[in-house]
Structure 1
């Protein structure tokens, strides 16, 4: 639609613009769910169904978001400050937090206008047609599986530290994979949200223990840099740590789809980004200040043995739940794709539960095999994040706004009238493209260097 307004649907409680161009009007701000939303929503009307998905309030969605995003990725942030300096590093962490909040708002607006969108694959269909659906759905599954494997590796490192390296790493990852498998099994996020409360406490306590341990055991003769000059390769590969520490937007559509009041989704996003940005900045600054430029990644490994064990022990539950959420996401996308509008979606059928069980086992098993069987798996996570998470968290959000403002308002006239938002959207797309290309470049180069130095372990090695 370019010349004539064809009707505007927006279920967040407000219409951005009325037919005659007059100011917005309030519409259904008091209802539990926006009028008309369930008619198009992926889960439809759930009255009388055995399995109900739309049960989450925004506080629990906040908890799920924090449990998913604020995890082992933060442990690499102090080492990023060591490469670029404390001032640029903290500025970047705060900027990315604000940027992620903005893209969260764009994603939520898109979801409220398109209730049928359950995941990035559905959004891809709206933007790019059937091919877009397959590409973005595939990317979601790949990144979710790789992220699950990343949590298994984090659990493996934690178990090794707790056992003084007396347990075979592959066995440690296997044990951890079984816990992750069990926790990812519930069909609805409501059941997982209560465990996510403990997960949030887990990573918060672990970070506090790590900061206290660093403060009580500062590195003698440590050096710190306010600003550090580095090559593009060194600087950007360190910058990817904070960039991808916010990379959880690929799950937002799935989480919002299971809310009682989806119009409250931004409350959850604001809570997440406020907590994550503040916590990231404080943790990175404190640990770097006391350990200095020799801080390891993950940062807990720079602590004395006792403090290292205490920190990793406290974080174990968070690694476990985050991995389960990622595996659940991959399985949920496929399950909804198979059984959307089917009785197996809302009923306790043998086909439904059998399919769900198979999907959960497949994706958890794939994550385990990749994590322990591929020597360059850590680098592959970087490639997957560059290819997909860079777009899901940053770039594609700009496309959402440009698409809807064009098709549901007045085409190019809207872009021209709302020039500031149009400019931000285009810059968002360009930022996603830059992160994708540069992230791929530095990761592939790092793989080449790792092979040349012979630092890679053997597959399935103890």
Structure 2
């Protein structure tokens, strides 16, 4: 399928310019940035990869060993590797769509192209909701880490509030390049924390551990456990926003390949080693199953990652609304009082909403599962199939093109079907889990310690 834009252009001095595709800046959300105070398109593909890894490889990986405990070592590892390959494929579909549609800044913009105004509002709403819930999830991870480090001496709500303050502060920069260098420390922190966690499990294994190669279980238990690896790859909702801030958007797949190779390898090794030493008794998050000193070391090292990942999510939610309001206006690229005032208000609102939900809603962890099922299942997997089918139809040969590229067409239809299955099944098991939690009386009161 031919793209809308030629790969390179000559600049005004007739010098061959490999930075931007022909016509891209004319339609790109940030346009031509020469002479502007605030420039967004500054990221290299390496920095985008670091930002993606910092966002995706985070507290979600700590639930992977418990997933292996439910389904067994071999099925669990096969699933992790398969999902990594699948996420790489859907990343490729998203990047191709972005290159054909420079004006796409968020999933909402993509929804407008695919489904019209209703699609735009629905996918934009889903992006903001999922980003806020993901921010809240990182706040809870920070709460658990701080509680572990201080031996639970304070009310848990206070730990969440303490962690929310630096998360809010790190959300304030207007451009991702201001966060990219912090992301390097974030990536190092979660990788080192994972290594420390594996060492701690190896030095102090569960003496009576049971490790299953394959384990038979019910559909409900199996699927509720595999949602952990499924949604550990749920970062695609940020792809369009990140690629929009790249100097060379055509290098986006280099970042995606780096992300998926790093995430899949680390997920598989961490899950397998931790489960092998701790067995079925491994908790979620898995650091909680370690000996106290190793638990504290692992959580302490992971704190920078939890903080920055939460900031990236809150930044993403804020930027979606900010660009939607000020697109093509001077407030997007200039240091205006209105622009900075609206940006600051959005950052505070997004972080505030995440905090209130995290501490005030007893079923918040389950709501994260619902949000992931409703939106992340589509953002990461299903909707990518629509992207290729749409562009092949409009910029290729229409329906005959679908027939000629039958294998790719089949893959895209399968991608849509997988997204639908994850969405429906994820909703079912999460709602059932909420019902069971209420029946057992395990839910705490709102804003409880």
Q: Decide which of 5, 9, 12 is 2:4's aligned counterpart.
A: 9
Q: How many residues align?
A: 444
SS of aligned partner of 2:306: helix
Structure 1 residue 30 displacement after superposition = 5.8
Name stretches of at least 5 consecutive residues in structure 2 with no aligned partner.
Answer: 10-14
Distance 1:31 1:223, change over 3 A: same
Using the TM superposition, give the Cα deviation of residue 168 of structure 1 relative to its aligned residue in structure 2, in angstroms.
1.1
CA-CA distance at 1:111 after TM superposition: 0.2
Partner of residue 376, structure 1: 363
Distance 1:298 1:382 in 2: 15
Partner Cα separation in structure 2 for residue 96 and residue 130 of structure 1: 31
1:281 alignment partner in structure 2: 268
**Superposed CA RMSD:** 1.3
User: Which residue in the other structure is 1:223 paired with?
Assistant: 210
Cα 1:380–1:404 shift into 2, 3 Å: same
Q: Distance in 2 between matches of 1:10 and 1:180?
A: 39
| Residues 64 and 196 in structure 1, CA contact (< 8 A), matched pair in contact too | yes
Describe the superposition over 1:1-25 as per-residue Cα deviations: whole angstroms up to 9, x where unpaired: xxxx9x95045569xxxxxxxxxxx
Deviations 1:246-278 (A, max 9, x none): 000000000000000000000000000000000
Q: Structure 2: how far apart are the matches of 1:12 and 1:386?
A: 37
Gaps of 5+ in 1: 15-27
Cα-to-partner distance string for 1:395-451 (whole Å, 9 max, x where unaligned): 000000000000111111000000000000000000000000000000000000000
Question: Aligned equivalents of 1:132 and 1:219: distance in 2?
Answer: 50
Taking the aligned partners of 2:98 and 2:403, their CA distance within structure 1 comes to 24
Cα deviations by residue, 1:167-200 (Å, 9 ceiling, x for unpaired): 2110000011111100000000000000000000
Q: Name 2:63's counterpart in structure 1.
A: 76
Whether contact under 8 Å (1:12, 1:109) holds in the other structure is: no
Structure 1's 11 and 373: CA in aligned 2 closer, same or farther, altered over 3 A? Answer: farther
1:11 touches 1:37 (CA, 8 Å); kept in 2? no
* 1:127-166 equivalence runs, <5 A: 127-166=114-153
Structure 2 CA distance, aligned partners of 1:67 and 1:8?
Answer: 31
Q: Which residue of 2 aligns with 1:35?
A: 22
Offset of 1:151 from its aligned partner? 0.2
Per-residue Cα deviation, 1:133-182 (whole angstroms, up to 9, x for no partner): 00000000000000000000000000010010102110000011111100
Do residues 320 (structure 1) and 315 (structure 2) align? no
Q: CA deviation at 1:235?
A: 0.1
Change (3 A) 1:11 1:379: farther
Alpha-carbon shift at residue 34 of structure 1 (Å): 1.1
Aligned counterparts of 1:311 and 1:451: Cα–Cα separation in 2: 32
- Alignment of 1:392 with 2:387, yes or no, is no
Give me the TM-score of the superposition, normalised by structure 2.
Answer: 0.98
> How far is the alpha carbon of 1:31 from its aligned partner?
1.2
Contact 1:150–1:378, Cα closer than 8 Å, also in 2: yes
**C-alpha distance after superposition, 1:351-374 (max 9, x if no partner):** 000000000000000000000000
Match of 1:20 in 2: none
Superposed CA deviations along residues 71-100 of structure 1, whole A, max 9, x for unmatched, are 000000000000000000000000000000
The answer to whether the Cα contact below 8 Å between 1:13 and 1:263 also exists between their aligned partners in 2 is: no
With the length of structure 1 as denominator, give the TM-score of the two structures.
0.95
Question: What is the rounded CA distance, in whole Å, between the counterparts of 1:239 and 1:173 in structure 2?
Answer: 27
Instruction: Name 2:12's counterpart in structure 1.
Output: none
Alignment equivalent of 1:178, drawn from 165, 175, 178: 165
Q: Does the C-alpha gap of structure 1 residues 11 and 171 become closer, same or farther in structure 2, counting only changes over 3 Å? A: farther
Determine if the alignment matches structure 1 residue 347 to structure 2 residue 350. no
Name the CA distance, whole Å, in 2 between partners of 1:194 and 1:295: 34
What is the rounded CA distance, in whole Å, between the counterparts of 1:389 and 1:449 in structure 2? Answer: 24
1:309 aligns with 2:296: yes
Where in structure 2 are the equivalents of 1:160-309 lying within 5 Å? 160-309=147-296
Are 1:361 and 2:368 matched, yes or no?
A: no
